[in-house]
Amino acid sequence: MTRGEKAPIHVAAAAVIDVAGRVLIAQRPLGKHLAGSWEFPGGKLEAREDRRTGLARELREELGITLSAPPRPLIRVRHAYDYGGVLIDTWVIRGYLGEPRGLDGQALRWVSQEELETVELLPADGPIVAALRLPERLTQASTREYVLGRSAEPDAAGRLRGVLCDGMADAMAASDAGANFLVLRDELPHDDIRSICELVPIPVYVPGLGVEEAWELGATGIVGICRPGK
């Protein structure tokens, strides 16, 4: 951020998923910016509020649900609207107590992953929909949804592009080149993993950790595959 540039509004958002694999979306009510569009539930973080704390608060206030399991970090989306920039910290929520209700008067809707591709979502939410196609455990280097390699070259089949990285410099370069997700080639110190996950705006996968340990560091998942070029 350059001098004089306004800091983006920091938002915590959730892809709440039920036992049938459907995703919850909420409709922006009349009187709000982009009213009528659908979005992932969430809201603005308070000053110096921890991201997970803010996420839990927003879900209680907006939907009346309480987290019963750790949230899975998914993606950090930066987007510029006409009123300013937003930074959307998005998490996958599978463990929660209560039945979601629109406590702010917003309409709610459960949709399948396929239906999610056709809904009129907010402009910032496109990368979130794409990231939801990724698993929490990478067990293959190539599927119909993604392909893992050494560069961010566009895939002819339109699959998400994953790039193998050795550290921060590789991760930043791959992210800038348009990679959809990153896979760390080797185990790194926890502080290095946390820094990478904070600085790159795309999902990061790490080897050598349990799922919840990886989530705590900010990674979206773990690696359990024979990686190309290893």
pLDDT given for residue 135 in this prediction? 94
Residues 96-144: tens digit of each pLDDT? 999 999 998 899 999 999 999 899 898 889 999 999 999 999 999 999 9
- Is residue 47 over pLDDT 60? yes
Query: What pairs with residue 160 in β-bridges?
Result: 146
| Architecture of the domain delimited by 9-131 | Alpha-Beta Complex (3.90)
**Which residues does 143 contact at the CB level (< 8 Å), separation at least 6?**
159
DSSP string, the chain: --TTPPPPEEEEEEEEB-TTS-EEEEEPPTTSTTTT-EE-SEEEPPTT--HHHHHHHHHHHHH--EE-SPPEEEEEEEEEETTEEEEEEEEEE--EES----TTS--EEEE-HHHHTTS-B-GGGHHHHHHTTS-SEE--SB-SSEEEESS-PPPTT--EEEEEESSHHHHHHHHHTT-SEEEESS---HHHHHHHHHH-SS-EEESSS-HHHHHHHT-SEEE-S--TT-
pLDDT given for residue 13 in this prediction? 96
Split at pLDDT 50, 70, 90, the class of 3 is low
Residues 82-86, mean pLDDT to the nearest whole number? 75
Which of the listed CATH numbers 3.20.20.70, 3.40.50.1100, 3.40.190.10, 3.40.640.10 matches domain 137-223?
3.20.20.70
Q: Can you give the residue ranges of every domain in the chain?
A: 9-131, 137-223
Q: What is the pTM of this model?
A: 0.89
pLDDT given for residue 2 in this prediction? 45
